[in-house]
Chains A and B, each alone.
Chain A
Amino acid sequence: DGGITQSPKYLFRKEGQNVTLSCEQNLNHDAMYWYRQDPGQGLRLIYYSQIVNDFQKGDIAEGYSVSREKKESFPLTVTSAQKNPTAFYLCASSSKPGPYGYTFGSGTRLTVV
């Protein structure tokens, strides 16, 4: 079945460490996105990519980095520069940018210890 796979489901990080969240899709979608969700709040856009080897900053990109070397993959690195990284991270894809429904992964819950 086609879909988006995020791994791991739960991730613990020590302060000062970088950590990479995985997002893989087999839907042949062009566009991919990373969102952050804090408790009781909506989703905020971190980065998005419309095509391979291209990506754009979202509303809260500081302290994060991404790459899009393959159409299927859009990993997110949470760097030590991100001061408050504890949150729920959701990856999504759409067939192309615009008013097309997003398919979401099941999310990664990151906790800084």
Chain B
Amino acid sequence: AQKITQTQPGMFVQEKEAVTLDCTYDTSDPSYGLFWYKQPSSGEMIFLIYQGSYDQQNATEGRYSLNFQKARKSANLVISASQLGDSAMYFCAPVITTSYDKVIFGPGTSLSVIP
């Protein structure tokens, strides 16, 4: 069974502050790595960042960075210098290696940036 936990259903952050979104996954199959996606209120899913399980350094993409702890199956997303446009749902999505390399999405965290 595969289970992805995002313990913070809703979060608030002050504009220009940093925020950390949590993600842990409990999967019976090995994981290649993990994605984070953003979903604004318009509904489209936007790729943010990816970290491979065997990457030595944590991934960074602009204001986004991952705190990936493979042994704990934890991959927290850090957003620095929050902007109003960061208000959205955020989903972590590990890539599970089964007979097909499948991306499983967590339940999501709603982030609201306060001016």
Contact = CB atoms under 8 A, between A and B. Distances in A.
Contacts of A75: none
B44 A106 contact: yes
Contacts of B45: 43, 90, 92, 102, 104
Given A97-B100, A99-B95, A41 B107 contact: yes
B47 interface: yes
Interface residues of B, number: 24
B35 interface: yes
B52 A102 contact: no
A16 interface: no
Instruction: Place the interface of chain A in its size category.
Output: 20 to 34
Contacts, number: 55
A102 B44 contact: no
Interface of A: 35, 40-45, 48, 50, 56, 88, 90, 92, 97-99, 101-107, 109
Q: Is the interface of A mostly helix, strand, loop or mixed?
A: strand
**Most B C-beta atoms less than 10 A away, residue of A99, A102, A107:** A99
Contacts of B91: 42-43
Given A43-B91, A102-B47, 18 more contacts: A41-B107, A42-B105, A42-B106, A42-B108, A43-B105, A45-B102, A45-B104, A90-B45, A97-B101, A99-B50, A99-B95, A101-B35, A102-B35, A102-B37, A102-B45, A102-B103, A105-B44, A109-B43
Given A42-B106, A43-B91, A107 B43 contact: yes
Contact of B107 (A42, A45, A90): A42
